[in-house]
A = this chain, B = another copy of it.
């Protein structure tokens, strides 16, 4: 095993992380990761992020059950972006879709809801 790559967390201490579904290869979501979130992701094998709005470490799916089990964590060439390749439990998006990119820039919806967000997020 080689040494862990030093991630460039930048001025605000966060890097963007893209979550991609290991099976469908769909891009599920983008969120931000702190050093603590990256450590927790590697240690637990489940995706953790840092919520900028709630200002706290966030285990994806902790309340909804829609966990992201990590298959691989990748780092980009500049070491300032992460790619989480995951097995997504349920849908990734809080709107009930499988992923957050369900609209084209023209406002056309290209994905259906797969769960009822009101039943999952209280």
Interface assignment of A114: CB less than 8 Å from any CB of chain B: no
Report the minimum CB–CB distance from A28 to chain B (whole Å).
10
Interface assignment of A83: CB less than 8 Å from any CB of chain B: yes
In Å, the complex CA distance between A77 and B93 comes to: 8
The answer to whether B104 and A74 touch across the interface, beta carbons within 8 angstroms, is: yes
The answer to whether A4 and B106 touch across the interface, beta carbons within 8 angstroms, is: yes
The answer to whether B105 and A73 touch across the interface, beta carbons within 8 angstroms, is: yes
By DSSP majority rule, is chain A's interface helix, strand, loop, or mixed?
A: loop
How many A residues touch the partner, as a band?
35 or more
The answer to whether A76 and B105 touch across the interface, beta carbons within 8 angstroms, is: no
The answer to whether B81 and A30 touch across the interface, beta carbons within 8 angstroms, is: yes
B-binding segment of A19-27, A43-51, A58-66: A19-27
> What are 28 A-B contacts with C-beta separation under 8 Å?
A1-B106, A2-B106, A2-B108, A3-B106, A3-B107, A4-B105, A5-B103, A5-B106, A16-B16, A16-B30, A18-B27, A18-B30, A25-B26, A38-B105, A73-B104, A74-B101, A74-B104, A74-B110, A75-B105, A76-B100, A76-B101, A77-B93, A77-B94, A77-B97, A77-B100, A81-B100, A81-B101, A82-B105
